Chains A and B, each alone.
Chain A
Amino acid sequence: MKNKHRYQTEGEIYFQKQLFRSRIYFALAFCILLLLILLGRMTYLQWIGYNHYQSMAEGNRISVEPLPPVRGRIYDRNHALLADNQPIFTLKFSKDKMENLNKSFIDLQTLLPNLSEERLSKFYDRLNASSRYRQLYLPYTLSEQEAARFAAHSYQFPGMTLVAKLKRTYPFKDSAAHVLGYVGKINQSEYEQLEESSYAGTDVIGKLGIEKYYEPLLHGQPGIQQIETNARGRVIRKLETIPATPGKDIQLTLDIRLQRYIETLLDGKKAAVVVTEPETGEILAFVSSPAYDPNLFVDGISQKNYQALLNNPKRPLINRVINGQYPPGSTVKPFIALAAIENDIISPNTEIHDPGFLEYQDHRYRDWKRRGHGLVDMRKAIVESCDTYFYKLSLDMGIDLIHSSLTPFGFGHITKVDLQNESTGILPSRSWKRNVKNDDWYNGETIITSIGQGFFLATPLQLAKATSILANRGEIIQPRLLKSAPTFVIKKIAIEKTQNWERVIQAMEDTVHSIHGTAHAYARGLPFKMAGKTGTAQVFSLNEGEYNEDEITKNLRDHSLFIGFAPVDKPKIAISVIIENSTTKAAPVAIKIAKYYLEELSNED
């Protein structure tokens, strides 16, 4: 660099310095301005936005994991475990952390070949439809080998974690299935109704039976665990834990031994049996036969199994005890007789001649005994189950009196037992017929009502309740399944003369014990006194009663019924039995139940 340049004049140097300086000042001002912009931005983020970002940082850091409550167990009256929680391995799916749903499921299918494709694809749909942050459990129990295999490959399955979980189990399988019901996956409509926070971390809910009725008691309240996690969701430490409130254990009034004894007696026949303790209304046995295994439903029942249950001609899914509505047949006779003598329609000693039929308005109403019972008083009418006696009686009483005096026994109303969707049965009346059939009441209908036929329908539980009231000599009880509920007598049926009760009960005792009694054949040598009444419910009315048992298919054969209680003086149990299509007689079943209970079980209490 030689002196190529010319010398600068003083003015030029001054100008040059001024120019450079002005640029320096400009640059400094520019820097200050931009730094102030940065400061403004930081003020915005750190001061104004502090709360917002603070909570986002907390959200980043802290994840809240629900701690699902342990579902209350269900015991029978003697503390036998009816519904338990069993620890199992399953997979928890956190949808928000899953990457490729499709691929994960295909990989999972290969890893767990025992997991049925149907179940997996159902679960896939459920996961797809669920909200992003809801955690779901695979409805499948992994064996220990499968759990180990998954653990080894878990890196392939982001968002899926192997968890130990409690699964509802019913150790007695199909025993008392209709009482217990079952739990199952919460479905969309249930999910919309329930309080979301109390079901965080829980994906089953009571669907039926006690499990459903006492869901609020059994479920409990979930706890919360705050966990500090890093960006990859790994747990750094546990911060705060609010423990879950476990669901309450509940004790039922059932005696599972009696329940099982009855189930064995029925041996899968289509039948329903209810045994209650008349004094308290506690239900000792509640059998709807045949039953099903509720364990099948807990993880979601497979289509195949479900179809099999639906298509089973014996209809195991139906709860016959509260939803089976049967014509009560002759089992209503004691109630009608009581109403008649109480209302002075007839004296108990008045004898009526029975030629084997009643002729009324050109129609012959036949007695079950073709030749007739001859001279019949009230006692004989019950003991031998004379139809003609009640035909005549009913015409004197009229449907209104029959309706009003049978209503207090609970016919035509739900018993309010602690189960849902109970059927009401039908206690026919003029207004009922007007409302439902839009027709007048005819006296011929009164006649068949008096023997529990026609429109008359009752559930086995209603019969058991009515029998208990009879056994209590009028004290109305509330049948129930929960042991810890208080016993309260609602009211007493206003029947003034106690001897009226005793007369009817005596007739029922003779039905079981006297030589002509319809149940006598099965009660020989019974060491205690039992009162009862047999019944036959016509399923199919045939003209003029001409019916040949062999010609009619089994499904159309009449049902066999029995109600009763024992011991007569101080009743400990009341029983109602219905055997559909009379595949066996109801009376011997009831007598065996009473014998078993009074001799083997009741002494312990």
Chain B
Amino acid sequence: MKIDLPQRENVYRQKKGIWFSMHLDSWLLLGIFLLIITGSLIVYSASGSDLNVLIRHLTRVGFAFALMLFFAQIPPNIMRVYTPWIFLIGTLMLISVILFGEMGKGAQRWLDLGIVRFQPSEIMKLALPMMVAWLFAHDTFPPPRKKMLIGIGLVGLTAGLIIIQPDLGTSILIAMSGLFVLFFAGLSWRWIASAIAIVAASLPIVWNFYMYDYQKQRVLTFLNPESDPLGTGYHIIQSKIAIGSGGLEGKGLMGSTQAHLEFLPESTTDFIFAVFAEELGLIGVAALLTLYLLIIARGLYIASQAQDNFARLTAASLVMTLFVYVFVNIGMVSGILPVVGLPLPLISYGGSSMVTLMISFGILMSIQTHKKLLTS
């Protein structure tokens, strides 16, 4: 195989740290640790200093961390080989959720496998972008139009199956993770522009025919939370009060009155950012946003240094998905986006999304640390 000379920075570096040999990326690891420590403190505070909650949280973090370590050991090539199968299994699970799923919070998202109950959509958060990346693994960028259309089709299929559950928020997020791959693969700006136009144009149709009342209500409440201060607008109003009353320096750790006096709903999960902002203030918020930015920058750097298309696209897409989580969660809690049930990455009380997230960090680390030694 004739391989053209890669540029200098693509060459495997001789400096081999201890983390590197364990297939871990030290910078990502540092960021993850900082977030997990912060998150644990805030979860502890928001739960009203409930040690049991903290212990359960740390247990889940530990489990997710172990999965991260595990996935970091799997070389990207192996992942690529298994990707179509995992995607297939995920799709089948989504179909079976529709057929046999349990109702949870008014929507059938859960699949009970006897031992564990989990949401197959979590698998798809990873499986879909990897599947699309797999599709373009051997193409030059931008890939041919036919493949692009197949990619869009896969995205549409997955999103459609999740919408039926119904879980609009998750389906949009998963669709985005797939679309990010298309974007990084070089989807032309013309396509992107027309896609945005189509989405904008179809919004009224979606509103009228495909949205459930509670979904419409959330959007309406988002547009004017004060219209229903004790109903659906309550979450947003109380969370804005929590954030705003934190001020510049915050009320100090464990100082959240909004959470401790139970004004703030979901204070350990989706709305934990409000507790964080209340206790640590604008300074803390700025620090947290910077930390996220550093992690994202590191992730995009890893993507740019990746050796093949599959790794590149997967890494970039996973990083952007992480960013979307951060942005949507904080945007929702601070009242600039509608309320969608979405945790704040690595801070919220651990759930299945924590596991997915840590796995994606594992994949990133694997991509960074499994480069072929290149010789000329």
Say whether A and B bind each other: yes
Q: Residues of A at under 8 Å CB distance from B?
A: 1, 3-5, 7-8, 10, 12-13, 15-17, 19-21, 23-24, 27-28, 31-32, 34-35, 37-39, 41-43, 45-47, 49-50, 52-54, 56-58, 60-61, 228-232, 236
A residues near B292, Cβ cutoff 8 Å: 35
Report how far A57 CA is from B250 CA in the complex, Å.
13
Q: Residues 233-276 of chain B: 1 if any A CB is under 8 Å from the residue's CB, otherwise 0?
A: 00000101111111110000000011001110000000000000
| Residue in contact with A38 in the complex, picked from B183, B316, B330, CB distance below 8 Å | B330
A-B contact pairs, 15 of them (CB 8 A): A23-B183, A24-B184, A28-B297, A32-B293, A35-B293, A45-B240, A45-B243, A46-B243, A46-B244, A47-B248, A54-B247, A57-B242, A57-B244, A60-B241, A232-B262
Q: Known pairs A34-B323, A41-B335; list 9 more (Cβ under 8 Å).
A: A1-B137, A20-B312, A27-B300, A31-B296, A32-B293, A42-B286, A46-B244, A47-B248, A57-B244
Q: A24 and B316 in contact (CB under 8 A), knowing A38-B289, A45-B244, A50-B247? A: yes
Q: A5 and B138 in contact (CB under 8 A), knowing A35-B293, A46-B244, A57-B241? A: yes
A residues near B293, Cβ cutoff 8 Å: 31-32, 35
Q: Residues of B at under 8 Å CB distance from A?
A: 1-2, 4, 7, 137-142, 183-184, 186, 238, 240-248, 257-258, 261-263, 277, 281-282, 285-286, 289, 292-293, 296-297, 300, 303-304, 312, 316, 319-320, 323, 327, 330-331, 334-336
> Residue of A at shortest CB range from B315?
A24
A residues near B334, Cβ cutoff 8 Å: 38, 41-42, 45
A residues near B303, Cβ cutoff 8 Å: 24
| Residue in contact with B316 in the complex, picked from A7, A16, A27, A50, CB distance below 8 Å | A27
Question: Nearest Cβ distance between residue A58 and chain B, in whole angstroms?
Answer: 8
Say whether B184 contacts A57, CB under 8 Å.
no
Report how far A8 CA is from B1 CA in the complex, Å.
11
Q: A42 and B140 in contact (CB under 8 A), knowing A27-B300, A52-B244, A231-B262? A: no
Question: Nearest Cβ distance between residue A391 and chain B, in whole angstroms?
Answer: 83
B residues near A10, Cβ cutoff 8 Å: 4
> Residue of B at shortest CB range from A39?
B289
Q: A19 and B141 in contact (CB under 8 A), knowing A35-B289, A42-B334, A56-B245? A: yes
Say whether B282 contacts A16, CB under 8 Å.
no
Report how far A8 CA is from B248 CA in the complex, Å.
55
| Residue in contact with B331 in the complex, picked from A5, A15, A38, A232, CB distance below 8 Å | A38
Q: A8 and B140 in contact (CB under 8 A), knowing A38-B331, A60-B241, A230-B263? A: yes
| Residue in contact with A231 in the complex, picked from B140, B183, B261, CB distance below 8 Å | B261
Report how far A229 CA is from B297 CA in the complex, Å.
44
Report how far A53 CA is from B4 CA in the complex, Å.
61
Question: Which residue of B245, B263, B297, B312 has the most chain A CB atoms within 10 A of its CB atom?
Answer: B245
> Residue of B at shortest CB range from A48?
B244
Report how far A56 CA is from B245 CA in the complex, Å.
8
Q: A53 and B282 in contact (CB under 8 A), knowing A24-B184, A24-B316, A27-B184? A: no
Report how far A272 CA is from B299 CA in the complex, Å.
100
Say whether A42 contacts B327, CB under 8 Å.
no
| Residue in contact with A53 in the complex, picked from B243, B261, B323, B327, CB distance below 8 Å | B243
Report how far A27 CA is from B304 CA in the complex, Å.
12
B residues near A5, Cβ cutoff 8 Å: 138-139
Say whether A50 contacts B304, CB under 8 Å.
no
Report how far A1 CA is from B134 CA in the complex, Å.
11
Say whether A13 contacts B4, CB under 8 Å.
yes
Report how far A39 CA is from B335 CA in the complex, Å.
13
Report how far A53 CA is from B281 CA in the complex, Å.
13
> Residue of B at shortest CB range from A10?
B4
Say whether B4 contacts A42, CB under 8 Å.
no
Q: A46 and B296 in contact (CB under 8 A), knowing A4-B138, A231-B263? A: no
| Residue in contact with B257 in the complex, picked from A37, A41, A43, A61, CB distance below 8 Å | A61
Report how far A48 CA is from B285 CA in the complex, Å.
15
| Residue in contact with A229 in the complex, picked from B261, B320, B335, CB distance below 8 Å | B261
